[in-house]
Chain A
Amino acid sequence: QVQLVESGGGVVQPGRSLRLSCAASGFTFNTYAMHWVRQAPGKGLEWVAVISYDVSNKYYADSVKGRFTISRDNSKNALYLHMNTLRTEDTAVYYCARGRRLLRDFDYWGQGTLVTVSS
Chain B
Amino acid sequence: EIVLTQSPGTLSLSPGERATLSCRASQNIGSSYLAWYQQKPGQAPRLLIYGASSRATGIPDRFSASGSGTDFTLTISRLEPEDFAVYYCQQYGTSPWYTFGQGTKLEIK
Q: CB within 8 Å of B: which residues of A?
A: 35, 37, 44-47, 50, 59, 61-62, 95, 100, 103-112
Contacts of B102 in A (CB 8 A): 44
CA distance A27 to B46 in the complex (A): 18
Contact A61 B96 (CB under 8 A): yes
CA distance A45 to B32 in the complex (A): 20
Contact B99 A47 (CB under 8 A): yes
Contacts of B99 in A (CB 8 A): 47
Q: CB within 8 Å of A: which residues of B?
A: 32-33, 35, 37, 39, 43-47, 50-51, 56, 88, 90, 92, 95-103
Given contacts A44-B88, A44-B102, A44-B103, contact A105 B47 (CB under 8 A): yes
CA distance A37 to B100 in the complex (A): 10
Contact B100 A59 (CB under 8 A): no
Contact A59 B56 (CB under 8 A): no
Chain A residue with Cβ nearest B44: A109
Contacts of A47 in B (CB 8 A): 96-100
Given contacts A44-B101, A44-B103, A45-B88, contact A107 B96 (CB under 8 A): no
Contacts of B45 in A (CB 8 A): 37, 45, 95, 106, 109
Chain B residue with Cβ nearest A109: B44
Contacts of B50 in A (CB 8 A): 100, 103, 105, 107
